[in-house]
Amino acid sequence: MTSSGDGTGRARPIPPGGPNKYLDLIRGVALLGIVVMNAVSFGLGAGPYFNLSAGGSDTWLDWLVGGFGEVFVDQKFMGLFSLLFGAGIALFCDRAAARTRRPALLSLWRNLLLLGIGFLHLALWEGDILIGYALVSPIIIALRNRRPRTLLILGGVVLLLSPVSAILFQASVPDDGSGLGGFWTAGVEVGATATWFIVTDFFSRAVGMMLIGVALYRTGVLTGERSTAFYRRMARTGLGVGLPLAAIGLAWVAARGFSPDVAFAGTTPNTLGTAPAVLGYTGVIVLWNRRPETDLHRRLCSVGRMALTNYLTQTLLGVLILRYLFGDADLTRTMLVAFIGVVWTLQLWWSVAWLDRFRYGPAEWLWRIATYRRSQRLRR
């Protein structure tokens, strides 16, 4: 049994030193990718988020932007973020084990605090993911020390629950699409059937990717410990399988005229391609990180180190700019590209500017204080 280090049984704060550059970089890329899809929700609403024909697609360029998002972004960067969240839980518990007798209990408390942050975030925007991440964290904490092969198998099985549920939910949708509501149509409330599908889909994809994330962390894949040839194969195979599946899904739904009878079932190719695509993106990022360091490397790592702060500020900017300042405007998908560019520019700038002066992002600092229930030095 490890010692708590101070004789009181209370956890001491884990030093911030020695973060893995690969994890920070992957997390930074994932975070900037997430805002690409979230911008659609901020500016256009739920219907256009799930259905390209429901709004914001007025020109061929809008359709091109929307199609690009569906194939290259949708589910992939959320999957990448989930991968890192699972790895982060394992990393936190490993480091906490050297300083407290109950690392799992400390991690549970930390994620209970995340649940509270999520509820505050939910009051601002209905698309919060922090609540879901916090709710599934006990599963990841409980399974974190299982063999990597076991975690990979479990993660894959849980991921398959999403396409299975899509087919089952689709069978319950009437021909007129009732039950979908705002899931498939702009400007109305999301239907009950669609709400249950969204919840089921989110939790299966989140838990599955988190379990895979723990396995990849344990085997050194996420921390850049494999050979260059390994990551090249990972990138080629993952993207070669994942992106064509996503394109097939989009083509299928488009060929059916974005009919409600494929609203759920049409997500299955993209979902099946998400895990391979996420692995492919991971391989590309690791390979890029092995090149000579540039200013962009440094900035993306800083974005990743301030992931919670940056995730929350993306929502603040989205709600303020797209819902309040331009809420009455007829926004299109092409217009949202400008907003995404503004967010990327701001976060790539302020993350470095802040971390050059301080040890943690503002939200991370407050979360850390609450986790250990003691003050934390902020300035470098």
DSSP string, 59-91: SHHHHHHHHHIIIIITTHHHHHHHHHHHHHHHH
Burial 197-210 (b: 16+ CB within 10 A, else e): bbebbbbbbbbbbb
Q: Which residue has the higher pLDDT, 3 or 68?
A: 68
Report the alpha-carbon distance of residue 133 to residue 207 in Å, rounded: 8
Asked whether the predicted pLDDT for residue 11 surpasses 70, the reply is: no
Structure tokens at 203: 């939790």
pTM above 0.75, yes or no: yes
**CA 322 → CA 17, 118, 199, distances in Å?**
38, 21, 25
CB neighbours (10 Å) of residue 355?
A: 18
CB neighbours (10 Å) of residue 149?
A: 10
Please name the residue ranges forming H helices in 97-147: 103-124, 130-143
Position 9 confidence tier, pLDDT thresholds 50, 70, 90: very low
pLDDT at residue 98 in the model: 86
CB neighbours (10 Å) of residue 324?
A: 9
Residues 282-330 have pLDDT tens digits of 999 999 999 999 999 999 999 999 999 999 999 999 999 999 999 888 9
pLDDT at residue 1 in the model: 30
Asked whether the predicted pLDDT for residue 99 surpasses 70, the reply is: yes
**CA 365 → CA 200, 293, 371, distances in Å?**
32, 27, 10
The answer to whether the CB of 92 falls within 8 A of the CB of 216 is no
The answer to whether the CB of 304 falls within 8 A of the CB of 23 is yes
Counting Cα atoms < 13 Å in the Cβ hemisphere of 353 gives 6
In 3D space, the residue among 57, 207, 72, 201 whose CA is nearest the CA of residue 139 turns out to be 207
Q: What angle do CA 237, 240, 245 make, to 5 degrees?
A: 125
pLDDT at residue 5 in the model: 43
Q: What is the phi-psi region of residue 173: left when phi exceeds 0, alpha when psi lies from -120 to 50, beta otherwise?
A: beta
- Mean pLDDT (whole number) for 95-117: 94
The pLDDT > 90 percentage for the chain reads 88
- Mean pLDDT (whole number) for 41-51: 95
> Could you tell me which residues are beta bridge partners of residue 379?
358
Name 204's Cβ contacts closer than 8 Å, sequence gap at least 6.
Answer: 158, 159, 160, 161, 162, 165
The answer to whether the CB of 89 falls within 8 A of the CB of 144 is yes
Report the alpha-carbon distance of residue 231 to residue 225 in Å, rounded: 10
Asked whether the predicted pLDDT for residue 6 surpasses 80, the reply is: no
Asked whether the predicted pLDDT for residue 18 surpasses 70, the reply is: no
Position 13 confidence tier, pLDDT thresholds 50, 70, 90: low
